[in-house]
């Protein structure tokens, strides 16, 4: 029986059918093929695991976390966060002095490229409007917006988680 007609696999170093040792190159070829298969399986497992863990990020709700801190000496009322489109809003009736509130601002209906707008009334009945951030095609570029309200100004910052 010739080597081409042998019933043995190329990965085995010895063939019990004809008791002849396979050449070392054939054995190494089989070992290399097995190593490559193992590495491909590991790579596929890694990719599936990574995509599964990140799927919450890819398929999460369309919106942004909002935090509003009142560091002024008076309460603020009629607090409303909206977009320049004014399709959705996140509202708080009162935020007391040295207090903070937070919530999730849903942007499912937003489809344009505009910014966020914070409106509120100070204790002296002065209404203030502050704009910050940017979103495009209804999707936020950031994960979080923090508004810090001081006595005479409003600071705003955006960040990713």
Residues 6+ apart with CB under 8 A from 133: 64, 115, 116, 140, 141, 142, 145, 156, 158
User: In the predicted model, what is the mean pLDDT of the chain?
Assistant: 79
pLDDT for residue 59: 55
Position 138 confidence tier, pLDDT thresholds 50, 70, 90: low
The region of weakest confidence among 19-28, 66-75, 111-120 is: 19-28
Q: Where are the domains of the chain?
A: 14-58, 63-159
> Tens digits of per-residue pLDDT, 42-82?
999 888 888 776 655 555 567 888 999 999 999 999 999 98
Q: Are 142 and 133 in contact (CB under 8 A)?
A: yes
- Sign of torsion over alpha carbons 80, 101, 154, 75: positive
pLDDT for residue 9: 55
> Tens digits of per-residue pLDDT, 31-40?
788 888 889 9
Helix, coil or strand: residue 5 = coil
Task: Count how many residues are written for the chain.
Answer: 161
Q: What are phi and psi of 57, to 5 degrees?
A: -70, -45
- The fourth-level CATH superfamily of domain 63-159 is Domain of unknown function DUF5300 (2.60.40.2890)
Q: What are phi and psi of 47, to 5 degrees?
A: -65, -45
pLDDT for residue 1: 47
Over residues 120-131, mean pLDDT: 87
Over residues 152-160, mean pLDDT: 86
Q: Does 11 score more than 60 pLDDT?
A: no
d(CA 100, CA 70): 6
Q: What are phi and psi of 157, to 5 degrees?
A: -140, 150
Higher pLDDT among residues 4 and 96, named by residue: 96
Q: Angle at CA 16, nearest 5°, toward 10 and 21?
A: 60
């Amino acid at each position: 029986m010739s080597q081409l007609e042998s019933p043995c696999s190329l990965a085995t170093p010895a063939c019990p059918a004809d008791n002849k040792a396979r050449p070392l190159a054939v054995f190494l070829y089989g070992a290399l093929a097995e190593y490559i298969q193992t590495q491909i399986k590991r790579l596929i497992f890694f990719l599936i695991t990574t995509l599964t863990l990140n799927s919450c990020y890819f398929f999460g709700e369309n919106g942004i976390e909002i935090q509003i801190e009142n560091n002024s000496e008076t309460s603020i009322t009629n607090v409303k966060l909206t977009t320049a489109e004014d399709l959705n809003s996140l509202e708080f009736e009162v935020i007391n002095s040295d207090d903070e509130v937070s919530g999730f601002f849903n942007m499912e209906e937003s489809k344009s490229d505009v910014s966020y707008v914070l409106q509120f009334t100070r204790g002296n009945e002065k209404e203030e409007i502050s704009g910050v951030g940017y979103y495009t095609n209804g999707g936020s570029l950031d994960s979080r917006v923090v508004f810090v309200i001081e006595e005479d100004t409003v600071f705003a910052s955006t960040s990713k988680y």
